[in-house]
Amino acid sequence: MENEKRYLIVGLGNAEQQYAGTRHNYGFEVANAVAKAFKATFTPGRLAYVARASFKGRELVIIMPTTYMNLSGKAVKHWLAEENVSLDHCLVIYDDIDLPLGVFKLKPKGGGGTHNGIGDIIETLGRTDIPRMRCGIGKNYAQGYQVDYVLSRFSSEELKLVEPCIERAVSAVKSFVTIGMQRTMNQFNTAETERAKSIAESNTEL
């Protein structure tokens, strides 16, 4: 029997220290910020670091998989079963080169695109109706240098866009667990789209 009050929040990244703070670990950054907002602490668990929190009568299980990114599905499948969480109560958070830096977008389902983490989760669960939050890192790299780019760290200038985006992402997670995906999308996606346009315009002016 699935627990209707329990939610699984998944931040994707690579657990090794060498990847800390890289663009590809954006999901970890948001998960850390969510845990911090609830004064929750991560401890080592099976296939993931795990933190637990309560919010408005909901139970949150926040995980950062310790598998490699392209094996994220193994951790998500385990914790969904371990905590009896329904898939519509799971939110996967990850970096996305197809969105501009400083914005995020919520989606209730879809393919994996070029992201190996969400791709493996879709393949492992055999479902595409996985709620997700795509956090934009942009694609400011020369052809053939995508791997180097996603494994690089944000500059101090870029962090001026990233840090407030993470704060808004935490608010979106709180909304997701209280009013659901559709209403949270209605509340946040339009504003993020407008923000993306504004960022694009300011970049054009530079």
Q: Which of 24, 78, 89, 115 is catalytic?
A: 24
- How many Cβ atoms from other residues are within 10 Å of residue 178's Cβ? 14
Residue positions counted in the chain: 206
> DSSP state, 101?
T
Distance CA 149, CA 22 (A): 9
The yes-or-no answer on residue 89 being catalytic is no
Q: Which two tokens stand for residue 68?
A: 């490699």
> Does residue 8 contact residue 79 with C-beta atoms inside 8 Å?
yes
Burial readout 48-81 (b: 16 or more C-beta within 10 A, e: otherwise): bbbbbbeeeebbbbbbbbbbebebbbbbbebbbe
Active site residue ranges = 24
